[in-house]
Amino acid sequence: MVFKRAVVVLACLAAGTCCCATHAGGLTEPRVGTVRHTISLPDGVDVTLDAVMVDRVIGSWLFVRDPWPPSELLPVYANASVQKWRSIEVTGPTMTVGGKRIVCATRIRLYVDSRGRPMPPLPKSKLAPLSWPYMQDIPLGISTLPTIPTPPDPASSAPSEPPGSLDTLVGTSATLENRVVSTATGEFDDAFYVQDASGPVGGLRIPDSELATVARGDRVTLTGTIEVDDTSQEAYLDEAAITSHTTGSPPKPVMMTKHANLGGCDLDDLPGVNTPSPSGSPYNKGVLTRCIGRVTGVFSTTEKSFYISDDPNFDDGTHTNVSGIRVSWDQNGTANQIVPPQVGWLVAVTGISSSLRTSAEPLKIIRVLRPRAQNDLTLCDPQDSNPPSVAITSPPGSTWHKASGATSILVSGTATDAETCVVRVDVKIGSGDWQPASYNASTYRWSYTWQNPQSGTQFTVRATDFAGNHADAQVTPTITSATVIYVKSIAPARTTPATARAGRRQRRLCRPG
């Protein structure tokens, strides 16, 4: 009997007594902070659900329940990357959407151990959750939509979408406030990117063919319709309009590893993207990120890409014996093309976290990191502290001749680097701004057309290598106009036997003596 009573006591501690409190008169009420209590509240009440368990994830929705004993499921609109069976704390207001009671999350925290590893469902004391010192904030995605979609049926047999997926928001009108611009106009073809100004979440592609010019760090409010691109699998704002526009500081990239890049989750259950890391990771497509790794392959002519890797087992399957994350500049503007590093170099890359759906079978969605410009690539190894060599070779000397009537002079020269490679050549006229020159990495020659050259104006050329070292060469030329006489070519007259004889007779008559 003693043993049986002990079992009953343990069962009560592990079950109903943790979620309910017994008051005078024998009434039992759900404890504050439980799913049972939240469901009974009216709309508009800010609640904090503590130590609830994620039962399933469908698109932007988390379905949570009390773990001991299991309660009914409560939909939480979060658009956050949280895996099934995790213990979380949810804060947000209660709402009714589509006839269902929900919580719209304004904050989600994950219960972890002292090493940051997720914890299983936690036991609870009689009246309050077990105090826990280790919590990890989970970033939330786009949460400024004017309406919240109806939660799906948790009993549906449809497969769960990726954590943080925007698929359920496709076609939804949105007003996005206080977004920070992470890529300037022109850095990518026909689009720029924004993200939430409060942190590295909510990345979105904004087609900009008809929008005002923006710079990195600008704060904008946008309206439009959320769509997802079939090829890149990125969310973008269709028919976008900028309703407010101010300047600000550029966002800092968030450091990502191989597992965390692009959210660290399967996309559409297609092969080619690794499964989530044990701790999960935020959905960060469209967000400015930074990765570091050794270069494992360069495909600059075929697909404008190279691969960096910090794990030889991380492979998207598109190239044999090439591991890592694809770094691509196939969408960069003309002035922002990339000179890739060489295989074996250790580089850090800043860019937009993106993806790409392959066209070949089997279909895959692979990770892509998109740098905005050459200076988004930082060389870590090999060490290169020596500047490149640059020279002006044509026109020679300091007196440059301009053809009569011409309005420009073609200036050219060489640029080489002994340790890494030259990545760009720029020109400055007088005290003006630096302007890019054309550079051929195969011949090591650069060229620039100087419009309306003036005597006494300094012409400066600068070569920059992959490590960021640079060297200059200057000339302050005297410009002269050379007179050029153009002569129309005249075809020689046909020679007949008669004219040939006359010519020989004339030569004999003109012979001296």
Residues 227 and 244 in one domain: yes
154-161 average pLDDT score: 49
Q: What is the 3-state secondary structure (H, E, C) of 237-297?
A: EEEEEEEEEECCCCCCCEECCCCCHHHCCCCCCCCCCCCCCCCCCCCCCCCEEEEEEEEEE
| Residue 387 or 483, more confident | 387
Alpha-carbon distance of 182 to 202, in angstroms, equals 12
Whether 268 is covered by a domain: the verdict is yes
Residue 508: per-residue pLDDT:
47
Question: How do beta strands 445-451 and 438-440 pair?
Answer: antiparallel
Residue 142 CA to residue 195 CA, distance in Å, equals: 9
261: CB partners within 8 A, 6+ apart: 284, 289, 291, 325, 353, 367, 369
Is the domain of 402 the same as that of 340?
A: no
* Same domain? 175 vs 203: yes
Tell me the C-alpha distance between 384 and 379, whole Å.
Answer: 9
**pLDDT bracket for residue 454 (50, 70, 90):** very high
* 352-400 residue pLDDT tens: 988 877 776 666 677 889 999 998 998 877 878 889 999 999 999 999 9
Do 401 and 443 share a domain, yes or no? yes
Please give the pLDDT value at position 144.
Answer: 42
- DSSP classification of residue 9: H
* Domain endpoint, select from 381, 410, 426: 381
CA distance 270 to 358: 11
Shared domain for 393 and 356, answered yes or no, is: no
Residue whose tokens read 């006359």: 502
| Tens-digit pLDDT profile for residues 21-60 | 443 334 356 678 889 989 989 988 999 998 888 888 887 7
For residues 252 and 364, membership in a common domain is answered with yes
Which of 325, 350, 381 terminates a domain? The answer is 381
Q: Is residue 44 part of a domain?
A: yes
pLDDT at 55: 83
Shared domain for 306 and 199, answered yes or no, is yes
Q: pLDDT grade, residue 498 (50/70/90)?
A: low
Residue 254 belongs to some domain of the structure: yes
**One domain for residues 219 and 290:** yes
Both tokens of 398, joined, read 């300091």
> How many helices (H) does the chain have, and how many strands (E)?
3, 31
Residue 203 tokens, joined: 């990345």
**CB of 462 closer than 8 Å to CB of 381:** no
Beginning with the edge strand found earlier in the chain, give each strand of the sheet holding 408-416 in spatial order: 389-394, 408-416, 445-451, 438-440
User: Of 100-109, 284-293, 356-365, which gets the smallest average pLDDT?
Assistant: 356-365
Q: Is the pLDDT of residue 336 over 60?
A: yes
Q: Is the pTM of this model over 0.85?
A: no
User: What residues have CB less than 8 Å from 293, skipping those under 6 apart?
Assistant: 258, 308, 309, 310, 324, 325, 346, 347
CB contact at 8 A, 186 and 333: yes
In a domain, 489, yes or no: no
Residues 177, 90: one domain? Answer: no
Query: How many CB atoms are located within 10 Å of the residue 76 CB?
Result: 26
Among 381, 408, 438, residue at a domain's last position = 381
Give the chain's domain count. 3
CATH number at residue 20: 2.40.50.200
Is residue 453 predicted with pLDDT exceeding 80? Answer: yes
User: Using one digit for the tens of pLDDT, what is the confidence trace for 173-217?
Assistant: 888 888 999 999 999 988 999 988 876 667 889 998 778 899 999
Query: Which is more confidently placed, 477 or 346?
Result: 477
User: Is residue 151 in some structural domain?
Assistant: no
Q: How many CB atoms are located within 10 Å of the residue 253 CB?
A: 20
What CA–CA distance (Å, rounded) separates 392 from 414? Answer: 7
Q: Quick check: 195 and 203 in contact, CB under 8 A?
A: yes
CATH number of the domain bearing residue 369: 2.40.50.140
Q: Are residues 349 and 402 in the same domain?
A: no
Question: In this structure, what token pair is assigned to residue 99?
Answer: 């006839």
Of 371, 362, 363, nearest in space to 341 by CA = 371
pLDDT for residue 249 is more than 80: yes
Structural domain includes residue 214: yes
Mean pLDDT of 419-446: 90
- Identify the pLDDT of residue 141: 63
Look at residue 235 and tell me if it is in a domain: yes
pLDDT band at residue 17 using 50, 70 and 90 as cut-offs: very low
- Tell me if 63 is assigned to some domain: yes
200 shares its domain with 252: yes
- The length of the chain, given as a count of residues: 513
Expressed as residue numbers, the domain containing 417 is 389-482
- Report in angstroms the alpha-carbon separations of 256 from 155, 285, 336: 35, 12, 23
Confidence of residue 18 (pLDDT cuts 50, 70, 90): very low
**Claim to verify: residue 86 and residue 222 sit in the same structural domain:** no
